[in-house]
Structure 1
């Protein structure tokens, strides 16, 4: 027999796809009416035009039909401004301390922060960030990416993200791709317009990305830093003293020489260096011969200077064809390199 209690219990298993909480607990389920085997109810979305409305509708219908209902009629509405403010305040109370510090920054939060940095642009720092994040997610970890490269943001384009984060008042819900939650300045600019800010504004936005984003429970937050040792890197070191760092370089000796500055800064700020990743290490021809287009030895030289190890050497290879994404397939040569790197990081 269908009852309101049965319906509510079934819908407690349906989560909002962005907030990852039960739609019942979020007070999104209202006005349940049962007539024979037909059920009608209202679903109140967090915002008008919710991009995941179809997903919510499908999950609700499947949950109720599993109880034996022959038909399900759903009427959609959206929360009032006051309801949304109340919900946001409730979510933020779980997100930050009474002093306004993100809970993830507390020593016992369990979140591991890994900053991906380089001495110069164009060495594949963002490629390493997104593929390492996806590899960790494939291993069952809860992962986020903070694209802190305010001037040179590229994560949304590289992951083929064309939607904006859902905003609850001034609080953002990260966009999710490949099981990874993502926040980037690229979501808040139009038509690839440049960002022309100086130190104080940069600091404010990095803090906003930490404080006013509903990251939820994470195991890892990867931070894609701008190349070099500028304001963002300095502010990140002050805000997240427990962060660990991966230094990305190419095999060219000049590139590793420049990258050493980022590594020495990490040492100066007492950040643990997890290792050096050498990108574009070689190209393997059809005959299996490795061709070292940028020379050899740069990564080893950098690792020796920083008293760490080369933890991955990534060859040249094209991502999956025709997708436009820079995320490598799990079974590709480079995908396997990142899987091994992610597995190694679990034990560091």
Structure 2
């Protein structure tokens, strides 16, 4: 990224004036996530809720202003409105264009392998012949670009962002829009606004399924996004240990409160098979998620081992369900789908 051009963009936006909004001014704090590649510029623009009715007008004016700078061929501004988003029932939300069914993958606790599970579930569904997309909804710690080995910046058709294509999937993540090493220091309402726009202002095309990889936790962000996404169902990922199951139970109860069907629980890192002696070791315990599913009256979808190949292929950006569809690990992911695909 050109530092000089980055600074020029900020200074250019600070000079923006909108005829119908004489009091409107852009400050440096309102601009973030600037990305420049081959003359294509993208940035996030945080707007006060007082201007929520003028988002489109301000966005177009900002894009036009920046497009006049030398060396720039296209500009995409992504507005985020800092406001309190009202919690609504799913039935109040309109169906999102280009998507038939939406399934959220959630966990109460981080570090249980939810993102790895999400991408492998998405590819497994695709391998059955469906058209599938995946949305990385973790603003603070997006994992999807790493998991697919792709950090390309999405283009825009002038109205919506075009999803990145990877392994036959349509993919979107905030990680495509901000530098990998840049922390995202946003307040909750701004995060909710940005995620809503990543969901609704993306040109999803003829998807049978959209998988949403939710951030860990059960706060306002998860609750609001779950409702605004008009979910058809949710899947809970947990490790077998009691500590993870406590938080998984909270996630399940959150979905029940907003009338989102819980399709079942997946036990990830369920066991480890020693490659030398073939002995099974239950590092985090074993069977806890199955017992929890029975207790809560929901389906136990299956278990995935703590496996070196799954870890290795994930780190390399080549999910195991894509590069080796017939291996034992891929078959295990495929079996998880039997209850909801």
TM range (shorter): 0.5 to 0.7
The residue correspondences of 1:1-348 to structure 2 (distance < 5 A) are: 104-105=95-96, 111-285=100-274, 286-319=276-309, 324-325=316-317, 327-328=319-320, 329-346=324-341
Query: Alpha-carbon deviation of 1:317?
Result: 1.6
**Partner deviation per Cα, 1:57-103 (whole Å, 9 max, x = no partner):** xxxxxxxxxxxxxxxxxxxxxxxx9xx99xxxxxxxxxxxxxxx997
Q: Which residue matches 1:96? A: none
- Structure 1 segments of 4+ aligned residues over 6 angstroms from their partners: none
1:197 & 1:49 partners in 2: Cα distance?
Answer: 27
| Kept in 2: contact 1:150–1:185 (CA 8 A) | yes
Unaligned ranges ≥5, structure 2: 1-37, 41-66, 68-72, 75-91
Query: Alpha-carbon deviation of 1:289?
Result: 2.7
| Kept in 1: contact 2:95–2:230 (CA 8 A) | no
| Kept in 2: contact 1:175–1:182 (CA 8 A) | yes
Give secondary structure in 1 for the equivalent of 2:308. coil
**Partner deviation per Cα, 1:216-264 (whole Å, 9 max, x = no partner):** 1000000010111122211123213443110000011111112111111
Query: Alpha-carbon deviation of 1:110?
Result: 6.6
Number of residue-to-residue matches in the alignment: 251
Query: Alpha-carbon deviation of 1:319?
Result: 3.2
Shift in CA distance, 110/213, structure 1 to aligned 2, threshold 3 Å: closer
Give secondary structure in 2 for the equivalent of 1:165. coil
| Kept in 1: contact 2:163–2:204 (CA 8 A) | yes
More contact order relative to length (CA 8 Å, sep ≥ 6):
2
**Partner deviation per Cα, 1:104-141 (whole Å, 9 max, x = no partner):** 437xx771111000011100000110000001111111
Q: With the length of structure 1 as denominator, give the TM-score of the two structures.
A: 0.66
Q: With the length of structure 2 as denominator, give the TM-score of the two structures.
A: 0.67
Shift in CA distance, 102/326, structure 1 to aligned 2, threshold 3 Å: farther
Shift in CA distance, 303/140, structure 1 to aligned 2, threshold 3 Å: same
Give secondary structure in 1 for the equivalent of 2:156. strand
Shift in CA distance, 168/105, structure 1 to aligned 2, threshold 3 Å: closer
2:156 & 2:211 partners in 1: Cα distance?
Answer: 22
1:276 & 1:252 partners in 2: Cα distance?
Answer: 14
Unaligned ranges ≥5, structure 1: 1-47, 51-80, 86-100
Give secondary structure in 2 for the equivalent of 1:144. strand
Give secondary structure in 2 for the equivalent of 1:302. helix
Query: Alpha-carbon deviation of 1:164?
Result: 1.2
* RMSD of aligned alpha carbons: 2.7
1:231 & 1:192 partners in 2: Cα distance?
Answer: 26
| Kept in 2: contact 1:257–1:302 (CA 8 A) | no
